[in-house]
Structure 1
Amino acid sequence: MSKVEQNDENYTVYYHVRAPHGLLNDPNGLVYFNNQYHVFFQWNPEGTTHANKTWGHAVSTDLIEWDYLKPALEPTDWFDKDGCYSGSAFEREGKLYLFYTGNVRNVNGERESYQCLAVSEDGIHFEKRGPLFDHPNNYTAHLRDPKIWQEKDEYWMILGAQTLDLKGTTIVYRSPDLLNWSFEGEFMDALPDFGYMWECPDVLKLPNKDVFVFSPQGLEAKGDFYQNIFQTGYILGEARSGKFIPDKEGFIEMDRGFEFYAPQSFKDDHGRTIILGWMGAMDPEVEAAVPTINEGWIHHLTLPREIKIVGNQLLQQPVEELKELRLASFDLLKDIALKDRIILSTPEQEMNCSWDESPASFTWNFRNEVTITYEATEKRITVERTNWLTGERETRSVNLTRPLETVQLFLEDSSMEIYLNQGAEVFSLRYFNENRTNMWQWKDAKWKNHLADLTVHELKRTIEFK
């Protein structure tokens, strides 16, 4: 069991990856190496602002219990002196290669970006090799977040970029050896007018489909869509020889909640494609009001999610290992009949609910804070919480492609992840409410009709705070 110093357990999360102190953001360098899962992450160990970015480092053998190691990369060299920004990892011939963006402010205060390499033989100690190539023409200094994959005997790198006319895009490099790289142009031939910057691009190579994931900045809200400060989504298609050929469906938001951003994928030793994302992208004023800043830390990652494509539908499902978090399980299928509320034993819970037939409309309230509403006629889900800066209620919604069949919910003291219809839609969110309780309650009981399963699991705390 990992131990990290913590004086006040208010709003603490216990089974999500988070830094022991300071500010955490993007997951970086996700990889299975030397019989361990490695999760690196953007980390400011000196405060809760977006400064002094290092690569924090956590390792696990089971995706549940995490040990926190010393930082893998620190901003100590001329090419990364103002931050070791996001990137990815790749294993080759028993060595671990970290690719990252070195952020530099020159003497005039102007941004410079360098795509850098560090190499390790043990996955713990890394030797920086410095920049890999010169900055390409026709792009601003907003060039970052290298992601690497292999096709046959060639390696490909994509980077989030911004054109000189301030439009977001993704560019591609090719290498025979991970050391020497040649510029190959843009990843998609048709460049949509889709925001001013694309961050954290990724390619998921699945058996029946490729998935291009990226996080555009600068999208205007449209109805239910693009409601957050920045977005993350994906396009289905085919990645081949440095080009992505999209299907017709277009960009789909990956998470319908409030904070999800900058996910990264990797393949493990079982061949699964797993992602983790950052649960912390928010307006600066809202971020500055997060209560955990008073405790010396802010933000955490999502649970690890396995990605599958079933019937041209992308599914995100919590990895099987998370079942080992369960301490005590309660089958409520019979017991719930006469109730209008349940008192959960702890804040750390998993709930699984399924129906034999589509349920009636309902409104659930969790912990006197988060409300989940299902409108059966429209197959519409709405999640509501209180904005901790303004005190106003705010919502995110989506219309399901089919009636609601299953709900899987993971709950912590200030965090919730909601998986609908086997992960066809997901909501991730933080919440902070001094008057929260351990109560799950509802008004109309018709949703209980046709219940096939209703199980609640108390989950163990895998990080010990002292």
Structure 2
Amino acid sequence: MSYKPMDFSNDSIARAEAYLEQVRPAAEASRWKPKYHVSAPANWLSDPNGFCRFKGEYHLFYQHHPYAPKWGNMYWGHMKSRDLVRWEHMPTALAPDQDYDKDGCFSGSAMEKDGKLYLLYTGNVWTGSDWTRDLQQVQCAAVSEDGVTFTKVPQNPLISSAPSGDIHPNHFRDPKVWRQGEYYYFVLGSRSRSDRGQALLYRSSTLLDWEFVSILAQGDARLGYMWECPDLFALDDKHVLIISPEGMAPEGDLYHNKSQSGYLVGKFDEERGTFEHGDFHLLDYGFNFYAPQTTLDDQGRRVMVGWMSMWDDEMPEKADQWAGMMTMPRVITMKDNQVLSMPHPELSQLRGAIIAYNDITLINEVNLEGVRGHCLELELKVRAEEGSVFGLKFGCSEDGTEETVLTYDGREGKLILDRTRSGQGPGGVRKAPVQLRDGRLVLRIFIDQSCAEIFVGDGELAMSARFYPGEASDRIVLFGDGSAVVEQLDKWEMNSCWL
């Protein structure tokens, strides 16, 4: 397909910014808008894009529909931070204003070169009414001197069609770029002609002229029909390929979300274009985690951000002119071939006053004075017996009709997150395998208006969830069967992440 140039002189971005300013007050007034999790000023936010550090600042772009709180023709929204803690909104970075991307600037990534910031993204064009088949996807770039105003390069599209072979010609997206030695590489999400998810590898010496290297990895039928938003990086002496498969069938307690996000651990050989890897593992066992992207922070730590929503969610916040948020930045590490994830340590800067308790026996229900709220962090260290059952309820109403319940069931060796009675929005239950360590369970729980992030131990398990309690449903209740003791409980109010 050939494309003719179109000159919009950034009118598309100016119009989007003007509309966002009109609807922003309604979004900011929403009781469900998070305080220390980032979201768009208004309307739709989904995949994190272009997560990077440029000229001493972190930039986080994202899939954005500025005109409605629903998915549509994708723009790239933009925010930045000096420390991954406090953020500020920036002008929209990319608009679908060219022939080759007129139906969406889809997901991608960022790379610094010669003091400039390049965004690599997928341009999308619908060619018919069947959105699973009638589409043309191409790979494109835009460049900026200051990291704020971007110009699409005249060479676009850099890659105008999918390679030949066992590669679906229409599903070919989400470039994630890195530099290794004298070359730039990126991985692309893809599907085979027989509908198996896979990742493609490309290489370039210029960042603009790309050659196809190989099908880097391909799944079996179990791993879905399409891998979105791949991300390949080194972690210790291994390599990790993050993928977000579409079309995985449930297996026991696992894979009950519409789409999944997880990882493969293996060894990447850039000379041969191969990635030998082990089994697929989830990055998050909750309801709402998709399309994560990573970068390195100023200390060399690998940091990950994900979209904390899911494609089939009701998203009651749409009525308030916004939809979607990101997880907190998580530092990911490797232990025994398992990826661990924990909140970035700098996030402790957002803590306010602390309330602490010690040696609380969990029998029936326990209410602790001062331990309630919509915007807080909890850390619990619990000593328990084998077979203990205990947990906590949050977002609880006074009459008990609303509650989100987190239960450790030692009889099953599982952590159970139940939002059946969470208020508005979807319900459901998610279960994850958890064992006591030396007779103890350590939990960190972050609650922020309409979301929760839960971390176990040193990060061996994470669970994320959106939930929509009533405005007065701010109680937190501990419970147990009498066989567990909270050795320590710390509760902090959390301050806003916005400058």
Q: TM-score w.r.t. structure 2 length? A: 0.86
Q: Secondary structure at the match of 2:428?
A: strand
2:141 pairs, out of 107, 117, 137, with 117
Q: What's the CA shift string for 1:335-361, capped at 9, x where partnerless?
A: 788981135353111011124666832
Q: Does 1:394 align with 2:428?
A: yes
Q: Given that residues 345 and 458 in structure 1 are in contact (C-alpha distance below 8 angstroms), is that contact kept between their aligned partners in structure 2? A: no
Partner of 2:480: 444
Matches within 5 A, 1:246-395: 246-247=277-278, 250-283=279-312, 286-287=313-314, 290-333=315-358, 340-342=366-368, 343-355=370-382, 360-368=388-396, 369-386=403-420, 393-395=427-429
Q: Does 1:213 align with 2:242?
A: yes
Partner of 1:131: 157
Q: Secondary structure at the match of 2:482?
A: helix
Summarize the Cα distance change of 1:132–1:65 in structure 2 as closer, same or farther, 3 Å threshold: same
Summarize the Cα distance change of 1:7–1:178 in structure 2 as closer, same or farther, 3 Å threshold: closer
Q: CA RMSD in A?
A: 2.3
Q: What's the CA shift string for 1:393-415, capped at 9, x where partnerless?
A: 52000112554521000001110
Query: Displaced runs of 4+ in structure 1, greater than 6 A?
Result: 335-339, 387-392
Q: Does 1:222 align with 2:251?
A: yes
Q: Secondary structure at the match of 1:24?
A: strand
Q: Does 1:415 align with 2:451?
A: yes
Q: What's the CA shift string for 1:168-200, capped at 9, x where partnerless?
A: 211111111212111112012x64222111100
Summarize the Cα distance change of 1:358–1:254 in structure 2 as closer, same or farther, 3 Å threshold: farther
Take 1:350 and 1:262, find their aligned partners in 2: how far apart are those partners? 25
Q: Does 1:17 align with 2:38?
A: yes
Q: Given that residues 306 and 316 in structure 1 are in contact (C-alpha distance below 8 angstroms), is that contact kept between their aligned partners in structure 2? A: yes
Which sits farther off after the overlay, 134-143 or 226-235? Answer: 134-143
- Count of paired positions: 454
Q: Does 1:64 align with 2:82?
A: no
Question: C-alpha displacement at 1:271, in angstroms?
Answer: 0.4
Question: Which amino acid is 1:344 matched to?
Answer: V
Paired-residue identity, %: 34
- Which sections of structure 2, spanning at least 5 residues, go unmatched? 1-20, 397-402
Question: C-alpha displacement at 1:9, in angstroms?
Answer: 3.0
Q: What's the CA shift string for 1:24-76, capped at 9, x where partnerless?
A: 00000000111111000000010012112100000011212211011111100
Q: Given that residues 259 and 282 in structure 1 are in contact (C-alpha distance below 8 angstroms), is that contact kept between their aligned partners in structure 2? A: no
Partner of 1:173: 202
Which sits farther off after the overlay, 4-13 or 326-335? Answer: 4-13
Question: Which amino acid is 1:179 matched to?
Answer: L
Q: TM-score w.r.t. structure 1 length? A: 0.92
Take 2:357 and 2:310, find their aligned partners in 1: how far apart are those partners? 36
Question: C-alpha displacement at 1:278, in angstroms?
Answer: 0.3
Partner of 1:431: 467
Take 1:80 and 1:333, find their aligned partners in 2: how far apart are those partners? 57
Which sits farther off after the overlay, 7-16 or 18-27? Answer: 7-16
Partner of 1:245: 276
Partner of 1:161: 190
Question: C-alpha displacement at 1:204, in angstroms?
Answer: 2.6
Take 2:243 and 2:375, find their aligned partners in 1: how far apart are those partners? 31
Question: C-alpha displacement at 1:391, in angstroms?
Answer: 7.6
Partner of 1:96: 117
